[in-house]
């Protein structure tokens, strides 16, 4: 399985200007309900067909809801020559750490 990176370590890399690409591998409805700010939604089933769209000049961080989808996605990326890690704790861990998220407005 892919190495996991903590939400705080991802945030530190973003703050340092490393700008990792953050990919939400959950389904679009889950992404729409709330996601890491700035994350791109590529459901895991679509990821193999999207590899050519991803640059190799930045680290890629994959996340889901804390299960194994993000690890499988990171492993797939690494097997295809990308520098990729899975986000430890997934979206719930990111949100619990108090980091920036995008959610629909409750109005």
Asked whether 22 and 36 are in contact (CB, 8 A), the reply is yes
- Active site includes 70? no
Asked whether 24 and 60 are in contact (CB, 8 A), the reply is no
Rounded Cα–Cα distance for residues 71 and 62 (Å) = 7
Of 22, 64, 70, 86, catalytic: 64
Rounded Cα–Cα distance for residues 61 and 8 (Å) = 13
H or E stretch at 78 = helix 69-79
Catalogue the active-site residues. 64
């Amino acid at each position: 399985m892919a190495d996991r990176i903590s939400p705080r370590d991802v945030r530190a890399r973003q703050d340092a200007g490393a700008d990792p690409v953050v990919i939400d591998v959950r389904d679009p409805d889950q992404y729409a309900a709330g996601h890491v700010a700035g994350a791109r939604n590529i459901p895991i089933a679509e990821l193999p067909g999207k590899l050519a769209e991803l640059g190799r000049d930045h680290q890629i961080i994959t996340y889901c809801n804390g299960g194994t989808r993000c690890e499988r996605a990171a492993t797939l990326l690494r097997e295809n020559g990308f520098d990729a890690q899975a986000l430890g704790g997934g979206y719930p861990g990111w949100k619990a750490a108090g980091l920036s998220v995008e959610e629909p407005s409750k109005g």
